[in-house]
Amino acid sequence: MYKIPSNIEKKGFWNVDGLENKNVFLRSCLNVSVDKYGNLLDESRLKESIQSIVELAFKSKSLIVCGHLGRPKSCEQNLSFKKNVLPWITENLNSKGFNVIFAESLSDIPPKDQRNKSNIYLLENIRFFKGEESNDRKEMIKFAESLAETSDIFVNDAFADYRVSASTYEIAKLLPSYIGRSFMKEIEALSKFYDPPRPFLCVLGGAKLSEKLEFLTTLAEISDKVLIGGAMAYTLLKAKGINIGKSLYEEDKVSLARELIKKHSQKMLLPVDHVISLEFSHSSQVTVTKSAEVPNEYFAIDIGPKTLEKYLEEISNAKSILWNGPMGVYEWPQSSTGTSQIGESIVKNKEAFKLAGGGDTIAAINMFSLSGFDHISMGGGAMLVFFSCDKFDTIDVIVNQYS
Ligand code: 3PG
């Protein structure tokens, strides 16, 4: 688990002297769920991020806000902020007396001495900019330099956006850098898990085992049990030699999954039955399997009733619970039960310390109106990095600055 540096409190932006004379560059978490047309599906991350945006807009000389949306390969229109983030932010900042100036390029932002305090500059999806995530480190640094030139200090409020990039990492080496309030809130909440009351249960789901594989070993080591659902379960079941029919899985991860199961077979619980369907569609007819095997022509789209019963029992006995990832295609009525029941049973366990996190998990929490978590983290991958690694690049680069 990541060990929080002792001097971290000092790195909150509220410790900056003379902030009213500073031009601030803020990295926010704006990575919201959108549909294929770019329509906003869940605004939780915007609601969280707007708080620091407003606070910094009032306190600083000028403010530039940036963030990313999705994983664009080029400037895909559904991932442009114009369709989703910009209207939401504009509406919410106008009501506070600020104008939002949308900047598709850095040249749309006036020089420091020509900015108006009532204007907040919102940069287009930062992943549209060449250099942000470049494999060529020199190109990434060059882009970070051009971002840094616009401002006097850098504030990172995007706990969720933990990957190294120009706007999350390299810029922090170039400007006096600080952590935002929302980011700090995440660190404080997650640190309560340093010595979790036992049994400590991890509930993991979601589509991609590849994104969780490197964390699963540590999570299995530090927790008492890991309950697995969602599409990631099918790569693990495949590795066990179980027929998964046409269910989604990651072929290139099967051999690693096999090693993982060998090492942690006692602690890792996998589905023993499934809700299955002949079509992968929101209105398909479903049936339930009698065992862990999925017939050849079928897709598994949710955990089945026997699995659910077993998982609910584990959840009711747990004293700490970490939940990341849905158990199935929770957006479809016929495959929402696994995720909704798991979520409901977690919040029903009043004695346990309950933490949930990640974009899909938050969307499911909102969809099923679940309340009672001790903390809902905006970060999914970030939360897993925090729990399983001894470094957290975007924090370390700020606290180690000039040391
Ligand atoms: C997330 O949604 O987990 C973060 O915003 C990071 O997004 P990424 O996995 O595309 O880097």
Residue 181's CATH number:
3.40.50.1260
The DSSP bridge partners found for residue 161 are none
| Alpha carbon nearest to ligand 1 atom 7, residue | 161
The DSSP bridge partners found for residue 99 are 119
288-331 pLDDT tens trace: 999 999 999 999 999 999 999 999 999 999 999 999 999 999 99
* Residue 202 pLDDT greater than 90, yes or no: yes
| Alpha carbon nearest to ligand 1 atom 5, residue | 161
Confirm whether 172 is domain-assigned.
yes
* Residue 401 pLDDT greater than 90, yes or no: no
* Residue 213 pLDDT greater than 90, yes or no: no
Read off the tokens for 316. Answer: 């009711």
Confirm whether 393 is domain-assigned.
no
* Listed residue (392, 349, 340) closest to 374, CA to CA: 349
| Ligand 1 pocket test, candidate residues 30, 32, 163, 215, most atoms within 8 A of CB | 163
> Which residues are part of a known binding site?
212, 331, 358-361
* Residue 357 pLDDT greater than 70, yes or no: yes
Beta strand segments in 3-152, E: 23-27, 33-34, 40-42, 62-66, 99-103, 119-123
- Please tell me the distance between residue 357's alpha carbon and the centre of ligand 1 in angstroms: 12
Nearest ligand 1 atom, CA 211: 9
* Residue 90 pLDDT greater than 70, yes or no: yes
30 close to 68: Cβ distance less than 8 angstroms:
yes
* Residue 255 pLDDT greater than 80, yes or no: yes
pLDDT of residue 382: 95
Single-letter residue type at 239: A
* Residue 402 pLDDT greater than 80, yes or no: no
When pLDDT is averaged across residues 375-381 and rounded to a whole number, the result is 94
Which residues contact ligand 1 via a Cβ below 6 A? Answer: 31, 71, 160-161, 163, 359, 379-381
Residues 178 and 207 grouped into a single domain: no
CA distance 308 to 328: 12
Confirm whether 396 is domain-assigned.
no
> Which residues are part of a known binding site for ATP?
212, 331, 358-361
Confirm whether 315 is domain-assigned.
yes
pLDDT of residue 214: 81
CA distance 340 to 321: 16
- Number of domains into which the chain is organized: 2
* Residue 403 pLDDT greater than 80, yes or no: no
Query: Mean pLDDT over all residues of the chain?
Result: 95
Residues 45 and 159 grouped into a single domain: yes
| Ligand 1 pocket test, candidate residues 161, 168, 210, most atoms within 8 A of CB | 161
* Residue 21 pLDDT greater than 70, yes or no: yes
* Residue 217 pLDDT greater than 90, yes or no: no
pLDDT of residue 192: 84
- Please tell me the distance between residue 294's alpha carbon and the centre of ligand 1 in angstroms: 31
Residues 161 and 258 grouped into a single domain: no
Where is average pLDDT lowest: 180-184, 214-218, 361-365?
A: 214-218
- Please tell me the distance between residue 68's alpha carbon and the centre of ligand 1 in angstroms: 8
Q: Give the three-state DSSP class for 325.
A: coil
Confirm whether 206 is domain-assigned.
yes
* Residue 69 pLDDT greater than 70, yes or no: yes
Q: What is the DSSP string of 185-254?
A: HHHHHHGGGGSPPSSEEEEE-SS-STTTHHHHHHHHHHSSEEEE-STHHHHHHHHTT--BTT----GGGH
Print the domain residue range for 227. Answer: 198-351
Cα torsion at 157, 158, 159, 163 (round to 10°)?
-140
The catalytic site residues sit at 45, 208, 359, 381
Residues 122 and 234 grouped into a single domain: no
Q: Please indicate, yes or no, whether the overall pTM of this predicted structure exceeds 0.85.
A: yes
121-177 pLDDT tens trace: 999 999 999 999 999 999 999 999 999 999 999 999 999 999 999 999 999 999 999
Nearest ligand 1 atom, CA 70: 10
Helices (H), 276-392: 305-317, 337-348, 359-367, 381-388
Residues 45 and 180 grouped into a single domain: yes
